[in-house]
Structure 1
Amino acid sequence: MRVYKKIVSLAGFLVFFLFLIEIELRGGEHVLGLFGSRRIQVSEANGYSVYCFGDSYTFGDGAMPKDSYPRQLEKLLNNNDDKARIRFRVFNLGIPGMNSSQALLFMKHILAKYAKPDLIIIRVGVNDCWNFADTNFYLHLPLGHLVQGG
């Protein structure tokens, strides 16, 4: 009977542990509210506008919004001694998990819907090795490459 209780306790612990791992893999920092979520916002900018498209690196996943590279870029660009006070507005359009095909589609959507920026920065590609959504690279491979594997 004691062995049975130990097995049940161990099984319960494993289920609970796997549940915690699942929460973390699905973005536990957002579920638990540690960093909060960010809405994608694009608005008219006075001065120069910069759109930053990309994946979780651009989004700043796991960091505070002020620590993402688009926000840091905006601070650097606006920290100038120019008398004219040229202002820059940098928009963080990063979406975690996005592959390069999805980024292209998203960029086309944003550019069709909002004002054109003065500069576009794209930082994407790390998710292409596992996220094949909206891709069609296989259509451009020679048939022999697919059959022979090389």
Structure 2
Amino acid sequence: MLASIATLVPHGCCPDCEEALPSYERALAAYGEAAALMAEREASISAQTHPFVVTRNSAIHLWKCPSAPREELNHPGDTLTEWTHGKLVDGVRVPVRSYDWAPTNEVRRMTGEELADWIRSVRGPQGVLNYRRCNRCQPSLPVAYTSSAGGVHLKD
């Protein structure tokens, strides 16, 4: 009896898992590609080149700020069962199936120049500021001009 079940469902705990195997394999491959791109991007930037962190709620932090969120990717599940039935979180099954491998907390690291451009782009129609500086790290913000030597000046 058990041998016949194993031949019907060789990869998971049930027929649903067996049916989800191709999508799980695609998700693992997509996650691997996204993780490699993220690692490559991380290796190409530093606190010196990209000193600012901007969050999805338009908060500006310094790179080293302990309250600045870090980029993360949601893993598609450690097992086929997690992918199919969800991860067990605090006793509740949470759905996992997703191919959206953008970082979950939408953190952007920026140079001073990129931040100056971003600040200009998030001003409202009346020039109202649509961002906020972190109260913890109090980053100095770039002003909207460049020096004759090039680069963006920082204003305290």
Q: In proportion to residue count, which structure has more strand?
A: 2
Question: Which of 1 and 2 has higher RCO (CA within 8 Å, sep 6+)?
Answer: 1
Instruction: Tell me the TM-score normalized by structure 2.
Output: 0.28
Instruction: Tell me the TM-score normalized by structure 1.
Output: 0.29
